[in-house]
Structure 1
């Protein structure tokens, strides 16, 4: 029985495909109507039927209001599309499910797969990934595995090689599709492909080139010729006069883009209501014009490639080639600029259109259907031993031999087994059947190897059992798991700075699946009779960013009414987070003091964007930028000041675009602007952090030196051991360049130093003089402060250091900053 998934789907912005892995090769299925491998990701609604693909695309010019495309770019958003012909709304998930159902009709063998691998851009966040899985489930697939598109493309590229062992080094996969862009750094390690790092943009692709043609070439000509200053708004607005024309122009622009791949110019023809009746418009677009309007977007994609190279300290000499994938890589400018600017050989040997679907099928051929979803086993003949095999082996390998192992359950006593390759090239010989068996299977090179497990009774008669078939493809690559596209963090309190910060749980590029348990301290008492709560907020983004710039994945809120006893400050909460290969996130929190457990599985499907809130976020970031700019100018850090000024200009641009965006704008620009805002927020937060790291590192060494000095004075071996434990991983935490990690070490050293210093009279004497020299009116209660200053002075005269401690502590509590922090920070309740 074969329980491999085998079916892989490329659910694309522009086109979708489906393929199947079988007998060591991949077949891309063709549309029974027209025999094309690609299905345009376009859905049209007529009054009596739904049309998908090429026929739907043809209806754009006749009935654009009822035809929908590029909805992949809005996966995971709250957007929906009104369908006049049916009178209802369709979400991106529902439209994607329609495309997926149509792809099932490509399977001419009559199979009805229950499980499938569907590809997603590497930069898809958890919300977008969950929305894709939901579309697969709605299309009738009971099990959906997600695979990142650069990995799929890498599998297609690597497994296309005639000799897998010849593939060495590391390369880049440059994947510029219809709606998204990904670049991945890939390496072969021990016969497996590994994605080392990646970058991407979910709103960069061929659709943006089409929009650029309309907005920068077509609209200016029409405005100039017919004096229509608000033409662009009227095109993009759902209720605009020219909204129907906008959809037609998108199709025309795509056709022009394709023609310009092989021609120096292309014609665009359409009807236009000038206000004085319909008029036929003929425009000529040259390749030079087209390249000019898309140049910045192509350059941006190359900048993302450079970002990977810089982050991994690589030069062109360290890379074998750039593998070009995605329909938009057919554009001559893209190939030219990538090759010229990066100085790395460009490889176009893989079909850019089918590579992702091919790789998805390769991957599907290595994955098995979950036990709960596997077909029921057929009943065996009466008297046959109830023997079951649970096997483990690599289904794709570049090695000449493959290690095979199996756990055998049932009455194995007196039985024997034999493993044979179907072509007669391998025979294990007859061996005693045990509860665990293992073999090194010899493989025929560059082919699909099939082995059968035969079982014999004590008289060496073969028993008719339903044993699993072993299928291994030699000379092909498997992948070493999928990398996490972004950091996964929880939000914790930062009382010192009166704010919250992120604590890293799972690091970007960590291989899925992942699991981690941490214990955090509760920072506030939560009374059952009160109104407070404990928040466990999980976010996706950069660990170095502020929480507000990350994507929220889910929150467990433990309210006062949920508690069986009061939750005391200083007690602990144990938090366990798990994330599956397909990005299901589960969180469990256990309050250790009262042994209460709270758990939830997060699979958020929708991210809502409110333009009003987005504008407010921009204003707040503008204020933060102004504060940093003033600081950098004052300290004569003019290079950092220039960076902040560039960020301000970008923020102003976003603000301007949001203000002119109509309420019913049909494009995905607000999502692009929200993404841009998040990245600018991260850049703003990181600008100047280099100096911050230098300062905190300097403070660490100073605190380390002070602590060592105090310990040597005391000559305390126990504290010396604690000191050495604190600094044991010094090279590791300093090289992490994490402000909070280094700060935590400083706090540990400070606590150890304080244990020694608190018993020294000079500590309290110097502390007293510090507070005594502060203006009494600066304290929150000047009269009380004056009284404790007097108490401290008398304690000094009598050398009563216990009394002096009391005076110092009381003066500290009367300082305005300490009380202010306690009053303001509400936070999450964990630290």
Structure 2
């Protein structure tokens, strides 16, 4: 029988926690050794054992090469960590699994949960999310559901209120943790919480503040006093002379950061040997003022992301009730002060920043049930068990003390009976005859999640193994409407007109998971079974307005020529269905309608590989694009836009400089930070000046609209007039979308409609012939054949044989030089 999951885990960059929902309350389990609620997300490897948590953290100063932390920031990457004591490599997934296994030991009740909720930053992409699920599975959890951290924090905040049902308005969740930052806009609709928008950065948190202390305060002080050539490089390189000291200083910097939350100054003490082999005892005093000066820009950046959400949703400070502060880094005084002063919104610190996410995870776990065990899936019903199906309807969240439940029952119900029982024993419907429609008023326990089981019995009142869905109703507490998609999900399609590829939106950012969509695309090139070509269904995550290269690839179905049962002809259709679950499993199915062939795959990408040389080359290409834009903007006297692109160019140069400094075995996550920054700059570059493009494409749209209508009226074609009206029916929607490609798609539809009319008019082919005839014969790829078809065209004109003239025009087009047919050079995806 299905049951509630109940267990929630906050898998943090710095610390992790495990919690449980039970009987309307949440308990955070404590470490049996030391009775602390938090477990440092640190793993140490000794020759004979693995140590996780506080003891591992203590070993950083003794054996830093075999101690690992902050690996959450490398989830979803190809990075691995070498362990000298075991002569082995460990991935971020493996290290995270060890932390999760250790958290199981906190459960003093002896329970061994098979399913768990694990929280992730809202900005985690699909690859990072899948890596987190893999860690949970490797830790022994059969089923892992993911919950975004701001949603978890919101549940903890809302359900903490003494009168939660009266909570109104909308608020912001500002979540600054050890390694990541999220801000979410939350509101309540019909008793359910909804995250309506969010922003975030997966590389902004307390770890960055620790690094800043070392690189901006400690290292400059050392270099003023003594001689240390290439000190920073020697610290950050895995083989560097001072790499061991770097790990030690990271721990000490974290301790300094914590001390500075309550004191005006803190000291840091360590030993270092200089270039001459002399050992120095170092004592440095770091003031809160110094610390705040080096982290100010990062905190300001987080506040700017909050402002971005407000601007995007056209909200002012007066529209927001409060800012709920979550995450250990919000203990820093500067964070609270800057958020309050710059936003002008009350700051709420009523929930524990350290435990809020774990508490919210447990609240969510109390509303979720464990799936049917895999061993039971798709198994035939036992002999004598009828195939009974239930379609249920009830309010999942309510302030009432009773809730109306109804269900439509299909299957052989004659002679059977049912019973609905609340799992805590507080309600029992008694045994009643099972009919095609049943209904019940369910009595609810207050301020908790109520779970009911629906049981089915045979005529002798023996319980049957019928799999009826669990009924879950939250009374007086909030549940979530659903989790929003953090980024657009698109497919890459060919843009033959511009000899490139572009993105087509499938699922929009902030759409509520799960999602499903089917689209029909055209095959843009003939693929012969005897050839080497292929059709690509490439799914990407990022901004729909970006270039495909700036997005994260999630998966690709490659349909090779050898996979085809017949040749795939240009112009035929491919039906593509994409489906994404709440925990971000992506399923893609492609059906070639002409060939009646189906290709499908479930994508669970776990790693993102970053090649430094490729990253440098990407930046070089972006610089070329930026230089072209600057030239164009200056020519049109758009100096502000030129200045914006120049700033982007400067940042690209900075990224290149940082990449050049990285050693091949750099131990930090900087290349991933730089790759993400490059991705955002590519999006910024792509969108800069897009307003002008929108103006131009909108002007072109109205010209094509007018021309199409003129053609239709001249022909007095009512059928095509009806199609024209259908094309322009949603004009206000796609014009106001400010999407270049959306408007261009409508222009293409109007052009196609105009061409249907013009293609049957003699003057169309006459004008086309004169265009090609005026091109020098020597400019064609085959001058002799071009001359022959020009003659054929002349004779066709004399005889007014327009069908023959069409042939001559088409053949001359095919003989056009490639420089005049750039679109024919695109290899692309093969769909559009």
Q: CA deviation at 1:760?
A: 3.6
* Partner residue, 2:170: 170
* Partner residue, 2:41: 41
* Partner residue, 2:600: 599
Q: CA deviation at 1:802?
A: 5.2
* Partner residue, 2:21: 21
- For 1:724 and 1:270, the matched residues in 2 are separated by 77
Most deviating of 436-445 and 594-603 = 436-445
Structure 1: tracts of 5 or more residues without a match? 377-381
Aligned-partner SS, 2:129? helix
8 Å CA contact 2:789, 2:808 repeated in 1: yes
* Partner residue, 2:140: 140
8 Å CA contact 1:164, 1:398 repeated in 2: no
Alignment of 1:370-769 (within 5 A): 370-372=371-373, 397-406=398-407, 413=414, 432-443=433-444, 445-447=446-448, 472-768=473-769
Q: CA 1:565–1:796 in structure 2 vs 1: closer, same or farther (change >3 Å)?
A: closer
Aligned-partner SS, 1:535? strand
Q: CA 1:818–1:383 in structure 2 vs 1: closer, same or farther (change >3 Å)?
A: closer
* Partner residue, 2:354: 353
Q: CA 1:90–1:773 in structure 2 vs 1: closer, same or farther (change >3 Å)?
A: same
* Partner residue, 1:379: none
Q: CA deviation at 1:286?
A: 0.5
- For 2:575 and 2:681, the matched residues in 1 are separated by 34
- For 2:206 and 2:285, the matched residues in 1 are separated by 20
- For 2:384 and 2:785, the matched residues in 1 are separated by 93
TM-score, normalised by the number of residues in structure 1: 0.93
- For 1:391 and 1:277, the matched residues in 2 are separated by 77
- For 1:145 and 1:187, the matched residues in 2 are separated by 23
8 Å CA contact 1:398, 1:477 repeated in 2: no
* Partner residue, 1:247: 247
8 Å CA contact 2:64, 2:247 repeated in 1: yes
Q: CA 1:600–1:383 in structure 2 vs 1: closer, same or farther (change >3 Å)?
A: closer
* Partner residue, 1:119: 119
Aligned-partner SS, 2:65? helix
Alignment of 1:255-270 (within 5 A): 255-270=255-270
Deviations 1:195-215 (A, max 9, x none): 111111111100000000100
- For 1:375 and 1:358, the matched residues in 2 are separated by 32
Most deviating of 788-797 and 759-768 = 788-797
- For 2:581 and 2:449, the matched residues in 1 are separated by 30
8 Å CA contact 1:385, 1:410 repeated in 2: yes
Q: CA 1:55–1:406 in structure 2 vs 1: closer, same or farther (change >3 Å)?
A: farther
- For 1:692 and 1:102, the matched residues in 2 are separated by 55
Q: CA 1:477–1:830 in structure 2 vs 1: closer, same or farther (change >3 Å)?
A: same
- For 2:458 and 2:626, the matched residues in 1 are separated by 79
Q: CA 1:417–1:619 in structure 2 vs 1: closer, same or farther (change >3 Å)?
A: closer
- For 1:511 and 1:318, the matched residues in 2 are separated by 23
Structure 2: tracts of 5 or more residues without a match? 378-382
Alignment of 1:127-276 (within 5 A): 127-274=127-274, 275-276=276-277
* Partner residue, 1:824: 825
Q: CA deviation at 1:733?
A: 1.6
Q: CA deviation at 1:407?
A: 6.3
Deviations 1:219-265 (A, max 9, x none): 00001111224111111010111000000100011001000101111
Q: CA deviation at 1:405?
A: 3.8
8 Å CA contact 2:60, 2:248 repeated in 1: yes
The count of residues paired between Structure 1 and Structure 2 equals: 824
- For 2:666 and 2:569, the matched residues in 1 are separated by 50
Deviations 1:106-135 (A, max 9, x none): 000000000001011111111111111110
- For 2:387 and 2:611, the matched residues in 1 are separated by 60
Q: CA deviation at 1:285?
A: 0.5
- For 1:420 and 1:768, the matched residues in 2 are separated by 81
- For 2:284 and 2:492, the matched residues in 1 are separated by 54
TM-score, normalised by the number of residues in structure 2: 0.93
Deviations 1:427-482 (A, max 9, x none): 86886442442224344543565768799999xx9988899986644211111111
Deviations 1:606-662 (A, max 9, x none): 111111111001100000100111001001111111110010000000000000111
Q: CA deviation at 1:796?
A: 6.0
Q: CA deviation at 1:698?
A: 1.1
- For 1:799 and 1:471, the matched residues in 2 are separated by 77
- For 2:497 and 2:505, the matched residues in 1 are separated by 19
- For 2:483 and 2:356, the matched residues in 1 are separated by 18
Deviations 1:781-813 (A, max 9, x none): 566656666766676677665565555545544
- For 1:804 and 1:353, the matched residues in 2 are separated by 78
Pairwise CA RMSD: 2.9
8 Å CA contact 2:457, 2:464 repeated in 1: no
Q: CA 1:451–1:228 in structure 2 vs 1: closer, same or farther (change >3 Å)?
A: closer
8 Å CA contact 1:491, 1:828 repeated in 2: yes
Most deviating of 290-299 and 400-409 = 400-409
Aligned-partner SS, 1:233? helix
Q: CA 1:799–1:529 in structure 2 vs 1: closer, same or farther (change >3 Å)?
A: closer
8 Å CA contact 2:497, 2:823 repeated in 1: no
- For 1:452 and 1:564, the matched residues in 2 are separated by 50
- For 1:384 and 1:822, the matched residues in 2 are separated by 62
* Partner residue, 2:380: none
Q: Establish whether residue 11 from structure 1 lines up as the match of residue 11 from structure 2.
A: yes
- For 1:333 and 1:214, the matched residues in 2 are separated by 19
Q: Establish whether residue 107 from structure 1 lines up as the match of residue 72 from structure 2.
A: no
Q: CA 1:543–1:453 in structure 2 vs 1: closer, same or farther (change >3 Å)?
A: closer
Aligned-partner SS, 1:490? strand
Most deviating of 571-580 and 321-330 = 571-580
Deviations 1:376-417 (A, max 9, x none): 9xxxxx999999989775665444443434566897656766
Q: CA 1:417–1:621 in structure 2 vs 1: closer, same or farther (change >3 Å)?
A: closer
Q: CA deviation at 1:817?
A: 5.5
Deviations 1:69-120 (A, max 9, x none): 0000001111111111111111111100000000000000000000001011
8 Å CA contact 2:727, 2:746 repeated in 1: yes
Q: CA deviation at 1:768?
A: 4.7
Deviations 1:496-515 (A, max 9, x none): 11111111111111111111
Q: CA 1:262–1:384 in structure 2 vs 1: closer, same or farther (change >3 Å)?
A: same
Aligned-partner SS, 1:168? coil
Deviations 1:505-557 (A, max 9, x none): 11111111111111211111111111111111111111111111111111111
* Partner residue, 1:74: 74
Q: CA 1:489–1:411 in structure 2 vs 1: closer, same or farther (change >3 Å)?
A: closer
Q: CA 1:721–1:450 in structure 2 vs 1: closer, same or farther (change >3 Å)?
A: closer
Aligned-partner SS, 1:371? coil
Most deviating of 731-740 and 89-98 = 731-740
Most deviating of 165-174 and 177-186 = 165-174
Aligned-partner SS, 1:145? strand
Q: CA deviation at 1:187?
A: 1.1
Q: CA 1:369–1:801 in structure 2 vs 1: closer, same or farther (change >3 Å)?
A: same
Q: CA 1:702–1:468 in structure 2 vs 1: closer, same or farther (change >3 Å)?
A: closer
8 Å CA contact 2:165, 2:477 repeated in 1: no
- For 2:255 and 2:263, the matched residues in 1 are separated by 12
Aligned-partner SS, 1:528? coil
Deviations 1:731-757 (A, max 9, x none): 222222221221111111112122223
8 Å CA contact 1:267, 1:283 repeated in 2: yes
8 Å CA contact 1:172, 1:185 repeated in 2: yes
- For 2:205 and 2:720, the matched residues in 1 are separated by 60
Q: CA 1:692–1:243 in structure 2 vs 1: closer, same or farther (change >3 Å)?
A: same
